[in-house]
Amino acid sequence: MSTGPRYTFSVRRRPAPGAPARTRDRATRLYDGAGELTTDPRRAVRGEVIEQDAEGAPRRTWFLIEQVELKWLPISESAFLIWVLALFVTAWVIVALVLRIF
């Protein structure tokens, strides 16, 4: 049974005045498109971040960046989003005209 609220890494209780500051160990591994280890974040397409939580246990976070082709979409994603934006603007203009007339 816990005695108080639990806090995450980003939202936690401030240390008491005079208490020693706790350092968080963080290790990062970045991999490029060929699967080779890299130190350049701009070339990284996947990676792993290992941090210590408040109790000192390791916490792993993985990420992966990849280009995904939507098979059901016959046009590019950017063209699709432009059409969606145009539909929203058209609907907004129609609603504005209807509300002004009535």
17-49 pLDDT tens trace:
655 555 556 788 888 888 888 888 888 888 888
**Same domain as 91, residue 60:** no
CB–CB of 63/47 below 8 Å?
yes
**Same domain as 46, residue 95:** no
| Structure confidence at residue 81 (pLDDT) | 94
**Same domain as 50, residue 16:** yes
**Same domain as 82, residue 46:** no
Instruction: Please give the residue range of the domain that contains residue 95.
Output: 70-102
* CA atoms of 69 and 75, how far apart (whole Å): 10
Does the pTM of the predicted model rise above 0.75?
A: no
How would residue 100 be classed by pLDDT, with cut points 50, 70 and 90? confident
- Supply φ then ψ for residue 18, to 5 degrees: 90, -10
Residue 2: pLDDT above 80? no
* CA atoms of 61 and 49, how far apart (whole Å): 5
Residue 7: pLDDT above 90? no
* CA atoms of 8 and 11, how far apart (whole Å): 5
- How many separate domains does the chain show? 2
| Structure confidence at residue 63 (pLDDT) | 82
| Structure confidence at residue 102 (pLDDT) | 54
**Same domain as 74, residue 62:** no
**Same domain as 10, residue 29:** yes
**Same domain as 54, residue 7:** yes
Strand, helix or coil for residue 101 = helix
